[in-house]
Amino acid sequence: MANDGQKDPIGDNAPTGNGRPINLDVEGDDRNTETRDQSHGVKDAGQKGDAPKTTDRSGYYNEDDLHVWKDRYLRRNEDPSRRDPKTGGMSAPKKITFKYYHVTLNIGHPPKPYFLDIDTGSDLTWLQCDAPCIKCTRAPHALYKPNKNLVRCEDPLCASLHWPANKPCETPDDQCDYEIEYADHGSSMGVLIRDSFPLRLINGSVAGPRLIFGCGYNQEVPDSFDPPYTDGVLGLTGGQLSIVSQLHKQGITRNILGHCLSGKGGGFLFFGNDLVPSSRVVWVPMLLNSLEKRYVLGPTELLYGNRATGVKGLLVVFDSGSTYSYLSSDAYKATLAIVKEDLNGKQLKDAVEDQNLPVCWKGAKPFKSIHDVKNYFKPLVLRFTKPKNMQLQLPPSAYLIITKHGNACLGILNGSEVGLGNDNILGDISLQDKMVIYDNEKQQIGWVAANCDRLLKTDRDYIGGSSQPFASNMDILEEHLKEEL
């Protein structure tokens, strides 16, 4: 019998294990972003002291390890009227809403809070940094200030970042530079540093590990994109630089993490295995890729309801850094065709005037919520061949959004039109309302339907006589693309 991972939602209790989850404060904020250029100049490369040298050299880095597919811009189908006169490329649709889940982490001594975009598509955590900052985006907190805490090239984690590994720097004492270029041509340039991350464990103890992360002093953002209102990125893949990998290496927690993203906004993030249920979780082995360390599953067959779409052999990437989900061109076209065919006679019309997303439908009257359209659409199903008959069901709420115009729009996009090639990405829209667990020790990913609006009942930390959860509320950040002129 197939296991679809959608039965018996959890939310009020879960068994505890022997892991030591981390206490995470999670918050959100409004979107009101602008780019600022701080022209503080560049430190002299020969300047003494342990301060970063903010030069214009890009350094070496493993592009495959750090490549993250961010859906910061979209392109319509080939419509000549939407050509960008400046670049010749397709212009982006108007006012597309992007949502970003972020977590608050305290960093430094004394500790200061920072909002970090939760990203299971990359391993490097980085903060905007006053080194000084050459170019930084507007952020909710003051820029992080490094204090004689540079990581040198001789550090093994620097070698894991750099490519080619045998020539990362000129000398072992050099600072460890990095540069990440994202799929949307945004980038972060900086240097690796080490600082304390005060963390409270489930057993009540406090850990203050010194972890390595990026001090980003030069962030480039495409003109058509307003960056999320965060201080940086929390990289959570299985790479050596990932925060959870570093915590595991120091013996602080198991190399396991999970998130529960609520479709209403909010949720929680955890490290360790105490929140992992002992039953009802669908487990599928990761595809091992020594270069990229991304969370990849497959091969899988794509169904619409009980109907085969003809799409087989898909490999899918779990990426919380992506708002929407993406399919390669052939898979996208086949899926869209079968959805449209199934809608025949259901009194829905194309809403071509709604430019929130490329494909939208309208009813006789505006839809108020996703519940209004559930009878029109069927679940999308990813059926895995190994292990046989394991399924990930995506109900309409996991691939549709309701726009402010009251239309239902497809939240699965053609990845080939935004430079993703044959990659297939499961973004936040498809990961909501389920607990997703990344077990880097057993090399498997699991999921189970869950109520992500509240924390699971389990042991609590006690601080000053009051009960404190070791994972707490998460919020969504919303982004709007501006129309290109």
Catalytic residues: 119, 319
Radius of gyration of the chain (CA): 22
**Whether the Cβ atoms of residue 423 and residue 434 lie closer than 8 Å to each other:** no
Residue 360 is inside which H or E element, if any?
strand 360-362
Instruction: Find out whether 143 and 248 touch, Cβ atoms under 8 Å.
Output: no
- Contact residues for 246 (Cβ-Cβ < 8 A; gap 6+): 157, 209, 211, 212, 240
Give the number of other CB atoms < 10 A from CB of residue 452.
25
Neighbours of 279 (CB within 10 A): 8
Rounded CA-CA distance 156/341 in Å is 54
Parallel, antiparallel, or unpaired for β 307-318 and 380-384?
unpaired
Structure tokens at 399: 């691939």
User: What's the rounded Cα separation, in Å, for the pair 427 and 451?
Assistant: 19
What residues contact 46, with CB distance under 8 A and at least 6 apart? Answer: none
> What does DSSP say about strands 325-327 and 412-414: parallel, antiparallel, or unpaired?
parallel
The partner residues of 212 in beta bridges, in order of sequence, read: 194
Closest by Cα among 69, 89, 88, 73 to 358: 73
Q: Which residues, 6 or more positions from 465, have their beta carbon under 8 angstroms from its beta carbon?
A: none
Residue 284: C-alpha distances to residues 270, 390, 443 (Å): 20, 8, 9
Q: Rounded CA gap, 197 and 354, in Å? A: 45
Three-class SS string for 103-164? EEEEECCCCEEEEEEEECCCCCCEEEECCCCCEEECCCCCCECCCCCECECCCHHHHHHCCC
DSSP single-letter state for residue 423: -
